[in-house]
Amino acid sequence: MNQQLVTTGIVLSRVEYGEANRIITFLTPDAGKLRLMAKGVRRIKSKLAGGVELFSISNITYVRGRGEIGTLVSSRLITHYGHIVRDIDRTMLGYEVIKQLNKATEDQTEPEYFHLLGQAFAALDDDSLPLDLVSAWFAAQLLRLSGHTPNLQTEADGAKLQADKAYEFTYADQAFLARNDAGFTADHIKFLRLLFAGNQPRALAQVRGYATLLPGCLPLVQSMLREHVRVT
Main-chain dihedrals φ then ψ at residue 7, nearest 5 degrees? -155, 180
* Distance between CA atoms of residues 160 and 154, nearest Å: 5
Predicted model pTM:
0.91
* Contact present, 224 and 231 (Cβ < 8 Å): no
Q: Which of these, 80, 93, 78, lies nearest to 124 by C-alpha position?
A: 93
pLDDT value at residue 232: 58
Task: Name the amino acid, one letter, at 221.
Answer: V
Q: What is the pLDDT of residues 185-202, one digit of tens each?
A: 999 999 999 999 989 999
Q: What is the DSSP string of 150-199?
A: ---SBBTTSPBP-TT--EEEETTTTEEEE-TT-SB-HHHHHHHHHHHTT-
pLDDT value at residue 44: 80
pLDDT value at residue 1: 56
pLDDT confidence band for 231 (50 / 70 / 90): low
Q: Which long-range contacts (CB under 8 A, 24 or more apart) does 218-222 make?
A: 218/132, 218/135, 218/136, 218/139, 220/169, 220/192, 221/136, 221/139, 221/140, 221/143, 221/192, 221/195, 222/135, 222/136, 222/139
Task: Tell me which of 106 and 134 has the higher pLDDT.
Answer: 134
Q: What is the pLDDT of residues 144-166, one digit of tens each?
A: 999 999 999 999 889 999 999 99
* Distance between CA atoms of residues 194 and 221, nearest Å: 13
